[in-house]
Amino acid sequence: MLSLAELESHIRNIPDFPIEGVIFKDITTLLTHPGALSDTVEHLEEACKRFEYDAVAAIESRGFVFGSVMAAKQHLPLVLIRKPGKLPGDTVSEEYSLEYGTNTVEMHKNSLPAGSRVLIVDDLIATGGSAMAAASLLRRDGCAVAGAAFVVDLSFLGGGNKLKKNGISYVKLRLRLRNEVTYEAR
57 neighbors 67 (Cβ within 8 angstroms): yes
The bridge status of strand 117-125 relative to strand 23-26 is: unpaired
Give the phi and the psi of residue 183 in degrees, each rounded to 5: -125, 125
- Which CA distances in Å does 19 have to 7, 23, 26, 128? 26, 9, 14, 19
Question: Is 94 part of the annotated catalytic residue set?
Answer: no
What ranges make up the beta strands (E) of 73-143? 78-81, 91-98, 101-108, 117-125
Q: Which of 42, 45, 99, 184 is catalytic?
A: 99
Question: Is 184 part of the annotated catalytic residue set?
Answer: no
Active site residues: 62, 99
